[in-house]
C-alpha cells in the first residue's frame, strides 16, 4: 500500500506541462492510478502452516545502472503470522535474471530475505538498464531466520516492475 501511495503521490505532484505544451490526458493519469492500486506481484506464500495467497506492492529506486533499492509491502489475507510483511533490500538487475537480498518484518519477527527473479517480457525499445522499462517477472523469495538456521516461508510470485 505504501508503494501505491508513493506512486499515486508522484503522479499527482508531477509538474504541469509548460504553457502551450500538451495537457496530460485523463486516461494516462487514470492508468497510473490503476497500476498503483493493483498488486504488482501475485502468487503463493508457503510456510509451515501451509500455502496462502500473497499480494505485493513494490517500488524500486535505481542507484546505478544495475543496482536498485527495493521496498515492498506484501499482504497475505489468509495467513496469520505473515498477513502483512514489509521488506527493504538491495536488488542487482541484468537484462533477464535479477538477484536481491534484504530484510523483512512481519508478525512472526524479522527475517533475511534473499530473492531470485527472471524478467519475462522486456519493454526495451533500445533503453539501457538505467531508464524506466516495464517488465513482467517471476520471483522466488525466502524468509530465513536471523541466525540462518530456519526457513520460515517461501514466496513464489508473478508480477511486473518498473526498471
Domain encompassing residue 106: 40-162
Burial 86-101 (b: 16+ CB within 10 A, else e): ebebebebeeeebebe
Residues 6 or more apart whose Cβ sits within 8 Å of residue 48: 152, 153
Please list the residues that pair with 52 across neighbouring strands: 45
Indicate the number of domains in the chain.
Answer: 2
pLDDT > 80? residue 120: yes
Same domain, yes or no: 120 and 104: yes
pLDDT of residue 33: 79
Same domain, yes or no: 121 and 44: yes
pLDDT tens, 4-28?
444 443 444 344 444 444 555 556 7
pLDDT of residue 55: 94
pLDDT of residue 78: 87
Residue 32 pLDDT class (50, 70, 90 cuts): confident
Give CA–CA dist 135/127, Å, rounded: 12
pLDDT tens, 52-91?
999 999 988 889 888 999 999 999 988 887 789 999 999 9
Amino acid at each position: 500500500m505504501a508503494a501505491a501511495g508513493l506512486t499515486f503521490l508522484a503522479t499527482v505532484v508531477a509538474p504541469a506541462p509548460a504553457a502551450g505544451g500538451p495537457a496530460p490526458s485523463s486516461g494516462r493519469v487514470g492508468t497510473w492510478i490503476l497500476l498503483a492500486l493493483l498488486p504488482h506481484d501475485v502468487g503463493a506464500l508457503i510456510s509451515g502452516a501451509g500455502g496462502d495467497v500473497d499480494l505485493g506492492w513494490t517500488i524500486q529506486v535505481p542507484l546505478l545502472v544495475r543496482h536498485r533499492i527495493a521496498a515492498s509491502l506484501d499482504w497475505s489475507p489468509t495467513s496469520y503470522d505473515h498477513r502483512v510483511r514489509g521488506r527493504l533490500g538491495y536488488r542487482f538487475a541484468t537484462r533477464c535474471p535479477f538477484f536481491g537480498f534484504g530484510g523483512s518484518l512481519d508478525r512472526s519477527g524479522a527475517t533475511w530475505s534473499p530473492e531470485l527473479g527472471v524478467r519475462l517480457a522486456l519493454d526495451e525499445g533500445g533503453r539501457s538498464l538505467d531508464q524506466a522499462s516495464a517488465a513482467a517477472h517471476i520471483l522466488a523469495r525466502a524468509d530465513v531466520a536471523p541466525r540462518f538456521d530456519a526457513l520460515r516461508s517461501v514466496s513464489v510470485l508473478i508480477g511486473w516492475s518498473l526498471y
